[in-house]
Structure 1
Amino acid sequence: MRKPGKENLLDHLISPFGLVLILTFLTFSLVLVGSTGEEVVKTYDFTQAFGFWQNGFFGLMGFTLQMMMILVFGFSLAVFKPVNLFLRKLAQLPSTLVSAVLLTAAITMIAGLLNWGFGLIVGAVLARFMQQALLEKGQVSNPALLAASGYLGMGIWHGGFSGSAPLSVAESGHFLEAKAGVIPVEFTLFSAFNLVTTFGLFLIFMGTAWYLARNSSKTSDSNHALSIDPLEPGKQNGLARIAGLFMLGVILVGVVFAEESGLGFVSLNWVNFLLFSITLIAYRSSLNFSNAIANGLKSSADIFIQFPFYAGILGLITESGLLNEFVKMGNEITNPESFPLFSFFSAALVNFFIPSGGGQWAVQGPIILETSAAMGLDTGKMVMVFAFGDQISNLLQPFWALPLLSITGVSVRKIFPYTLVFFLVGLVWLWASIFFFF
């Protein structure tokens, strides 16, 4: 029996940081055991393997900062006091559990498509306000279903404006440019394939939320939840707002006089630049803006810690030749007809071990794009196939649910039955979409 206060090593191993360490160890093992290439077994000693890992460890620093910024700005906007007050007013509109669940699900998914960090916090806060409002009106509720509905943004986000994989490959100089070139968002986020699939997923989730709200058990119990203090815009000076307006002007000039045709100018850096300017304008003063960013940075600590390890894994599989082996294996066990579905299900599975979409893309992206190019598949669509697989298993992945659970006061055990239902219906729709529309 474990003594009170004494930490258990197993608890740490099944944490997100523990899992990335396990993946690193497994990758080291694969490199040291040896890989086959050209019918010759190639092995490496510890010194060479450590060199591969160290060379890759800081290879994704730019990408790491991009991922941190997109979460920090989304968080900062979600806790902005006018947004908080707007959510409170929204929560007063529904008079029944069904309407509360549907409104929570819709707002959460729309927010998640705009920015996954924004959607994550907005969904959690809105679910909590909905629960409070229903109880104040003397209505029965279901806090677990409301919380699950407030988590749906993480099940649809990768088809939206903060999608890690599609925005990454749209960036000139991205880490996979040598393998696939630059893939504009017209061929990923704004392709008919993604628009139809994502809109269909939105409707599927809404229909499922309606069914669950009508048929689930109801209660009048309240939860003890974490207090989230909204942050006000500053009044002492408008320096941040001036800087934000200047940045927004730069964006508008860039859009009007963009050399790229269509939406070719949209990239991860462009989205972060836009979010940066909006957040500056919202908080008005430099002090309040800094306070909001400081709070948001706490939520990005896991990205800061884990992404170098994912970069190390990428260095190991790339420099050792394992990447080529995985590509070769994919060519042998699949064909152009089956590889999209194979990639979709593998992305959903790997997400359980690598909960960050950006970190997972760093590891799986090279394999998917290299194999896709070899098979002559549409690389833009394959990026979205990966995105669909990554996002749907978030509904069973507890890593990103931690803020939601704290804010709503709902336990994993209570929310899981509902997120499992959403996961299953979403999985079926995405499978059908890839099968029929790829």
Structure 2
Amino acid sequence: MAIAPVDPSLSKPVPSKPVPATDPGTSPASGTLERLGIRFTAWAERWFPDAFIFVAIAVVIVALGVLANGAPAASVAKSFGDGFWSLIPFTMQMAFVTIGGYVVAVSPPVRALIERMAQVPRTGRGAVGFVAGATMLSSFLSWGLSLIFGGLLVRALARRTDLRMDYRAAGAAAYLGLGATWALGLSSSAAQLQANPASLTKSLLAISGVIPFSETIFLWQSMLIAAILFVVSVAIAYASAPRGATAVTAETLGVDVSRESTDIPPPRQPGEWLEHSPLLTILLVVIAGGWIVQEFTRQSWIVAISNLNTYNLLFLTLGLLLHWRPKRFLVAVSKSVPAIAGILIQYPLYAAISGMLTVPKNAAGASASDAITHAFVNLNTAGTFPLTMGVYSAILGFFVPSGGGKWLLEAPYVLQAANELKVHLGWAVMIYNAAEALPNLINPFWMLPLVGIIGLKARDIVGFSFLQLIVHLPLVLFLLWALAFTLTYHPPVMP
């Protein structure tokens, strides 16, 4: 994943008003959890470096580890360079996931839909639960859409004068798409990568083959986990939200949530006429729509939507149509572009790491990936694999906050271990997906775009998301372990 963009015009904070340190309406237990969350986030905000630092450190550590394994220095250097450029198509595809989700979320029709949705809840607690449900549903379509959509919905609800909603709890609820369900939906980086042979490195393709969506996110076991997490998360968001006089509103926090203008200036020169005319929009949508229709009619819709090219063009075409005028669409795209900087530089480095892990120490020797695979196999059985891998992926996910990039690190040895232990390969992907999302709940890295939109700090919402993590962690691990017994291993399917 990559950070969704923060539009400075969306957040207009004013000087903060003092907020009581202790919320009189909170129980002692929830107060303790909230204080722990605030302390944790305060530490993370001070000491947690940029994600690029983590991947740079990972490159150095892996290179040293591969050298220690006996690989020649020249081979390590060559594998780094070859691997760096091996996933450029996938890198650009993931960048367009961000752009497509953003342009759809900020389009005038979607903004109007958000304003109508904001009139539905009748109570402050109901509003928090409503945000949680809406955000998680949107995350099944696109994690990029989820962050922006959730933030705008929270702001729209906060503008209601007849609703006393705890703004912090609502902000945490808007984050649940990233913290609970995104990796179980259509924009799952690992599932998308494994379903597209052109996006896989040759070494990984030889291990896993192609794993279609029907064997990952569309397994009934995966959809069951998604449904359970949806219900549980909404219930926790609703039950933990302060109500009545104890609710801390946006006004109390000093956040300006007034509706921002999305108007664009009229054309000033004759050459700008086409930028403001829907003529080219209509023609482009017709052409792109013709290709999309062909893709969905010539094959199963599951196969069609699992193709990242189809998925991204669908969102971009929808975004163009919803913005209607090319100028408005281009403004939205330009505001989304800064968010893809991390993808463009970090994903090639993750691909280079994946390449280095497969370098053998000599013509007949094992690679570092093989050594890790053997450790996984020796320490596990088919029954314990889901638990071990789930815990491992969750811990690593806090230090490498990138669903797609981290999968490139784990996939070679995780899927090889799954092959040797006879674990369903698609379920191995879903174990990774469900566990990888867990650290997002307390990782300020992914909170940044959302808190930028709603005008808060990560510390303001992490107390509520930390409470979600306490429940999610044992629940997810149990489901991953229990449902693994309902699946049967199948050998890799080569394209």
Distance 2:110 2:405 in 1: 30
Is 2:80 aligned against 1:53? yes
Q: Which residue of 251, 255, 259 corresponds with 1:224? A: 255
8 Å CA contact 2:323, 2:329 repeated in 1: yes
Identity, in percent, stands at 27
| Deviation of 1:270 (Å) | 2.2
| Deviation of 1:229 (Å) | 5.5
Q: 1:43–1:251: structure 2 CA closer, same or farther, 3 Å change rule? A: closer
1:265 is paired with a residue of what secondary structure? helix
**Residue equivalent to 1:207:** 235
Is 2:416 aligned against 1:370? yes
Matches within 5 A, 1:174-189: 174-175=199-200, 176-189=204-217
| Deviation of 1:212 (Å) | 0.5
Aligned partner of 1:412: which letter? A
**Residue equivalent to 1:264:** 303
| Deviation of 1:262 (Å) | 6.8
Distance 1:343 1:244 in 2: 44
Q: Which range is displaced more, 366-375 or 86-95?
A: 86-95
Listed one character per residue, the Cα deviations across residues 91-150 of structure 1 (whole Å, up to 9, x for unaligned) are 2332321111011111111111110000011111112222232xx22x433211110000
Is 2:175 aligned against 1:151? yes
**Residue equivalent to 2:136:** 109
Q: 1:90–1:342: structure 2 CA closer, same or farther, 3 Å change rule? A: same
Listed one character per residue, the Cα deviations across residues 58-115 of structure 1 (whole Å, up to 9, x for unaligned) are 2221111111001110011111122112212322332321111011111111111110
Matches within 5 A, 1:14-53: 14-32=49-67, 34-35=68-69, 42-45=70-73, 47-53=74-80
Distance 2:293 2:263 in 1: 28
Distance 2:168 2:231 in 1: 21
| Deviation of 1:224 (Å) | 3.1
Listed one character per residue, the Cα deviations across residues 282-341 of structure 1 (whole Å, up to 9, x for unaligned) are 223333322222221122221112112212211221225111111111111111111112
**Residue equivalent to 1:412:** 458
Distance 1:336 1:231 in 2: 57
Aligned partner of 1:272: which letter? N
Listed one character per residue, the Cα deviations across residues 350-384 of structure 1 (whole Å, up to 9, x for unaligned) are 11122111111111122211111111111011111
Matches within 5 A, 1:38-437: 42-45=70-73, 47-133=74-160, 136-137=161-162, 139-155=163-179, 156-175=181-200, 176-213=204-241, 217-220=246-249, 221-224=252-255, 230=262, 235-258=276-299, 263-267=302-306, 268-320=308-360, 321-437=367-483
Q: Which range is displaced more, 212-221 or 93-102?
A: 212-221
| Deviation of 1:222 (Å) | 3.6
**Residue equivalent to 1:39:** none
Listed one character per residue, the Cα deviations across residues 167-190 of structure 1 (whole Å, up to 9, x for unaligned) are 221113331322111111111111
Aligned partner of 1:198: which letter? A
8 Å CA contact 1:165, 1:387 repeated in 2: yes
8 Å CA contact 2:386, 2:480 repeated in 1: yes
CA RMSD of aligned residues (A): 2.3
8 Å CA contact 2:141, 2:187 repeated in 1: yes
**Residue equivalent to 2:3:** none
Aligned partner of 1:53: which letter? F
Q: 1:121–1:223: structure 2 CA closer, same or farther, 3 Å change rule? A: farther
Gaps of 5+ in 2: 1-44, 266-274, 361-366, 485-495
Distance 2:276 2:230 in 1: 39
Distance 2:393 2:256 in 1: 33
1:166 is paired with a residue of what secondary structure? helix
Task: Tell me: higher relative CO, structure 1 or 2? Use CA pairs within 8 A at least 6 residues apart.
Answer: 2
Distance 1:206 1:94 in 2: 14
8 Å CA contact 1:283, 1:289 repeated in 2: yes
Question: Aligned residue pairs: how many?
Answer: 416
Normalising by structure 2, report the TM-score. 0.79
Aligned partner of 2:56: which letter? L
Distance 1:355 1:225 in 2: 30
Distance 2:52 2:281 in 1: 35
8 Å CA contact 1:245, 1:277 repeated in 2: no
Distance 1:70 1:207 in 2: 29
Q: 1:172–1:314: structure 2 CA closer, same or farther, 3 Å change rule? A: closer
Q: 1:229–1:390: structure 2 CA closer, same or farther, 3 Å change rule? A: farther
Aligned partner of 1:128: which letter? R
Aligned partner of 2:58: which letter? L
Listed one character per residue, the Cα deviations across residues 237-281 of structure 1 (whole Å, up to 9, x for unaligned) are 3212321232222222222222xx572333222211221221222
Distance 2:141 2:369 in 1: 33
Distance 1:379 1:337 in 2: 14
Aligned partner of 1:311: which letter? A
8 Å CA contact 1:244, 1:276 repeated in 2: no
Q: 1:101–1:169: structure 2 CA closer, same or farther, 3 Å change rule? A: same
Q: 1:232–1:78: structure 2 CA closer, same or farther, 3 Å change rule? A: farther
